[in-house]
Amino acid sequence: MNHRTLLAVTAGATVVADQVTKAVVLWTLDDGDSVRAIDGVMHWTLQRNPGAAFGLFRRVPVLFTILAFTISIVIVAAAPRVRDRLNAVALGLVLGGAVGNLTDRLFRPPGPFRGHVIDFIDFRVWPTFNLADAAVVVGAGLLALASFRADREPAAS
E strands within 5-99?
34-38, 42-49
The one-character DSSP state at 61 is: H
- CA dist 86 and 68 (Å) reads 22
Q: What angle do CA 72, 77, 83 make, to 5 degrees?
A: 110
Alpha helices in 29-130 (DSSP H): 61-78, 85-107
Active site residue 119: yes
> Active site includes 33?
no
DSSP 51: S
Q: Of these residues, 31, 119, 122, 151, which one is catalytic?
A: 119
Q: What is the maximal distance between C-alpha atoms in the chain? A: 60
Which residue in the list 18, 104, 122, 133 is annotated as catalytic?
A: 133
Q: Hey, which residues are catalytic here?
A: 119, 133
